[in-house]
Amino acid sequence: MKNIFKYINVLIAILLLASCDAYLDVNTDPNNPTSVSPDLVLPVAQKYSAEMIKGGPDAPLRLANHVGNMMMYNWTQTNGFSWYADEFKYLVTSSFYQRMFEQSYYDALKQYQVLINLDPMYDNYKAIAKIMKAYHFQLLVDFYGDIPYSEALLRGENPTPKYDGAQTIYENLMLELTEAIDVINNVPANAVEIGTDDAMFAGNMDEWKKFANTVKLRILTRQMSMSGRSTYIQTEFDVIAAEGSGFITEDIGINPGYVEGEENKQNPLWNMMGSDPGGNETMSNKATCATDYVISYLQGTNDSRIDYLYEKPADGHLGVPQGLLVYPENTTFEYVSNIGPGILKRGDMDAIILTLAECYFNQAEAVENSYISGDPKALYESGIQASFDYLGAGDASSYYGQAIANVSWNASTNKLEAIITQKWIAVNGITAEQSWFDYNRTGYPLGLPVSLQASTPDRPVRLAYPSSEISANGGNVPAQPDVFTTKIFWGN
pLDDT one-digit tens code per residue, 265-305: 999 999 999 999 999 999 999 999 999 999 999 999 999 99
> Strand, coil or helix: what is 234?
helix
Residues 310-337 have a mean pLDDT of 97
In this structure, are residues 232 and 220 in contact, taking their beta carbons and an 8 Å threshold?
Answer: no
Cα angle 458, 463, 467 (rounded to 5 degrees) comes to: 135
In a domain, 332, yes or no: no
pLDDT greater than 50 at residue 482: yes
pLDDT of residue 5: 55
pLDDT of residue 35: 59
In a domain, 321, yes or no: no
In a domain, 81, yes or no: yes
d(CA 289, CA 213): 35
pLDDT of residue 7: 46
Categorize the per-residue pLDDT at 14 as very low, low, confident or very high, splitting at 50, 70 and 90: very low
Q: What percent of the chain has pLDDT over 70?
A: 93
pLDDT greater than 50 at residue 15: no
In a domain, 297, yes or no: no
For residue 437, the enclosing domain spans: 2-258+350-449+459-473
Burial of 3 per CB tally in 10 Å (0-12, 13-18, 19+): exposed
pLDDT by residue (tens digit) across 69-109?
999 999 999 999 999 999 999 999 999 999 999 999 999 99
Other Cβ atoms less than 10 A from the Cβ of 116: the count is 21
Residues 423-441 have a mean pLDDT of 98
pLDDT of residue 56: 83
In a domain, 368, yes or no: yes
pLDDT of residue 193: 93
pLDDT of residue 8: 53
pLDDT of residue 475: 97
Q: What does pTM read for this prediction?
A: 0.94
Residues 253-272 have a mean pLDDT of 95
Residues 208-235 have a mean pLDDT of 98
pLDDT of residue 286: 96
Mean pLDDT of the chain: 93
Q: Which residues contact 175 (CB under 8 A, 6 or more apart)?
A: none
pLDDT greater than 70 at residue 220: yes
In a domain, 340, yes or no: no
In a domain, 339, yes or no: no
d(CA 447, CA 294): 11
Extended beta strands in 74-134, E state: 75-77
Categorize the per-residue pLDDT at 58 as very low, low, confident or very high, splitting at 50, 70 and 90: confident
More confident of the two residues 3 and 484: 484
Q: How far is CA 383 from CA 178, 224, 237, 427, in A?
A: 26, 19, 20, 11
**CATH number of domain containing 171:** 1.25.40.390
In a domain, 253, yes or no: yes
In this structure, are residues 287 and 69 in contact, taking their beta carbons and an 8 Å threshold?
Answer: no
- The lowest-confidence range among 27-41, 166-180, 188-202, 461-475 is 27-41
pLDDT greater than 60 at residue 1: no
- The lowest-confidence range among 26-30, 132-136, 267-271, 368-372 is 26-30
CA-based nearest residue to 432, from 131, 45, 73: 73
pLDDT of residue 400: 98
Number of domains present in the structure of the chain? 1
